[in-house]
Structure 1
């Protein structure tokens, strides 16, 4: 008797500014996933928040007819269905980036529906999404960071001069101004002088109520190396080789990540050229950051490295943890694991296994007396 296939829901789209990035990731997964092992269900979320399945979900990916405004959608609860119904999902792979997908909100829905899912839980997703909360966890774990300040949108709008004084008292230019809760470098600006600060703060404030301002690593005139590590696992996570991005622009912003191509595109170096000691340190820090944020399944951990100077070794600091990184076949997370010996299709298999393992382990917990 043939073994029953796992029914896997691939969830994509969403209401965030990273909707298009999610669609790109989903297309790659749907193309590579082993249909002999899995019964695949496509689940889409329109930019307006409508849940869609089958042909309507395919339309989001540019396949089939356009989605009509009045078409009824589905919910994850109905998709989960009752155990043994034959129509439920065994596991969901939420290929959702940014707000309403990577921030713990949809993970809470999966928990309520009691369904296994790929990636971090509510806490890990929310903590890693909020750059301010994430940094607090890094500090508690003793991990190195660049100096930073967090301000509320209301504080900036109420008294920009006071906010500027707070920033300049704590940090030196250049600084990077970021919305606390967003990914793919959306809304981020590099500020070299005070005259550029207001526009950067206004841009970040348009995306989130919390604004994180970070001091540039290495100081004026220094372009730090941008290093990335892929982490995979649950309670015993493992780190990939270290990769490096050489941005096509001054820093690795949305355009440099997704829009530039040909001779203008950013360059990926795999593995990065580091000493054995530096590589060992960075990989250990990646696992420590993963654990500090209570991540699970997968995460990409990003670092900044200023070059060594006379009498001082290279400065390596944590930048951030991304709990649902870009997942196209040419995205850094899959490429890092491919360079470590785990090809794309096998990586998908492993992530589904980890999701099922974590859900099984959760079932050992008592939720009542």
Structure 2
């Protein structure tokens, strides 16, 4: 049987570069090598695409010193990756891509657009779903149409910080302290801060502006942080619910990846029918953004009333050992190898449905 060739992309120029490296390692280790041949392409923080030989190079960090440049050709008649070394160019056909990229220039529709041009089937959401889900402001606008409650918010553009007094007034007119400040397009809680007063708000706005030109300031929700995984194509399914217990004041980047005291709880006991509401909302939101393949949808559950409040959606959630997405499906009996295979099959199915050459085994 001829093996299909899968190109796994990782790294990237976003603030989630390191997380992507770990996710790719997990994904590659769980691809069925009896069915697939894997090509590994790493993208450095400066944006250089490099051929990577094996997982060990990713784990050691040696991959960044690779000498073979990788280029995915947008030529739809080729469906290839070009490898360039010493002036010599070789082309290898690709049957599908797994963009294990988080954040900007990977999870935001940019790489998805390249793969669409090249007619290469790929894992995950399409251009539109990736773009609007990466942009928290646009996600909120979409979710508003569903009648699902979410935190009150005030959008601030980076340009507005030139008149910081007016920006602060804009926030204080609508929201009470404490508030959360978030870059609209960053992930893994990069650039997110909590402000209890005007001084902290100003500092938080400038921090968020380091990550994006568009900033969201949100009301603080007194809620438990929970997450739900969605998997599928036209008839997506929701997993159970997982709860985040942050070691810090909130679940920031450090609390997620560097603080061993942060914990995840599978199947937490929630008030009333909150768990079923979360699963229903997760699928509805996934469909509303035109999701396909996978997403993790995050919510708050009010600690007193049990009301479910939408937080955000991630179209390429982490695949690290502490990532909720694979853990939630493992709790449902779908191990990582099965999950990776399902995602690859969905990539082929989506391409076939769209009129491409993706084929389902």
Give TM-score, length-normalised by structure 2: 0.91
Name the stretch that deviates more: 98-107 or 192-201: 192-201
Deviation at 1:44, TM superposition (A): 0.9
Consecutive unaligned residues of structure 2, counting only runs of 5 or more, are: 82-90
Question: Considering only aligned residues, what root-mean-square deviation do their CA atoms show, in Å?
Answer: 2.2
Deviation at 1:206, TM superposition (A): 1.0
Listed as ranges, the matches of 1:1-369 within 5 Å are 3-55=1-53, 59-62=57-60, 67=65, 71-77=67-73, 82=78, 87-157=92-162, 159-218=163-222, 224-261=223-260, 265-275=261-271, 277-308=273-304, 313-363=305-355
Q: Give, in whole Å, the separation in 2 of the partners of 1:333 and 1:203.
A: 28
| Runs of 4+ in structure 1 over 6 Å off | 78-81, 83-86
CA contact (8 A) 1:56 1:67 kept: no
Q: Secondary structure at the match of 2:92?
A: coil
Number of aligned pairs? 348
Q: Give, in whole Å, the separation in 1 of the partners of 2:75 and 2:320.
A: 25
Q: Give, in whole Å, the separation in 2 of the partners of 1:204 and 1:18.
A: 15
CA contact (8 A) 2:154 2:218 kept: yes
Q: Secondary structure at the match of 1:287?
A: helix
Say if 1:66 and 1:136 are closer, same or farther in 2 by CA, change over 3 A: closer
Superposed CA offset, 1:194-224 (max 9, x none): 2211100000011100000000013xxxxx2
Aligned to 1:221: none
Q: Secondary structure at the match of 1:154?
A: helix
Q: Give, in whole Å, the separation in 1 of the partners of 2:264 and 2:216.
A: 27
Q: Give, in whole Å, the separation in 1 of the partners of 2:78 and 2:356.
A: 20
Deviation at 1:53, TM superposition (A): 1.3
Deviation at 1:314, TM superposition (A): 2.2
Say if 1:78 and 1:163 are closer, same or farther in 2 by CA, change over 3 A: closer
Q: Give, in whole Å, the separation in 2 of the partners of 1:60 and 1:331.
A: 18
CA contact (8 A) 1:226 1:304 kept: yes
Q: Give, in whole Å, the separation in 2 of the partners of 1:83 and 1:246.
A: 44
Superposed CA offset, 1:90-143 (max 9, x none): 110000011100011010000010100000011000000000011001002222
Say if 1:81 and 1:272 are closer, same or farther in 2 by CA, change over 3 A: farther
Say if 1:84 and 1:315 are closer, same or farther in 2 by CA, change over 3 A: closer
Superposed CA offset, 1:142-184 (max 9, x none): 2211100101000122x11111111011111111000000100
Consecutive unaligned residues of structure 1, counting only runs of 5 or more, are: 219-223
CA contact (8 A) 1:179 1:205 kept: yes
Deviation at 1:55, TM superposition (A): 3.0
Superposed CA offset, 1:38-75 (max 9, x none): 1111111111111111339964442657516xx45111
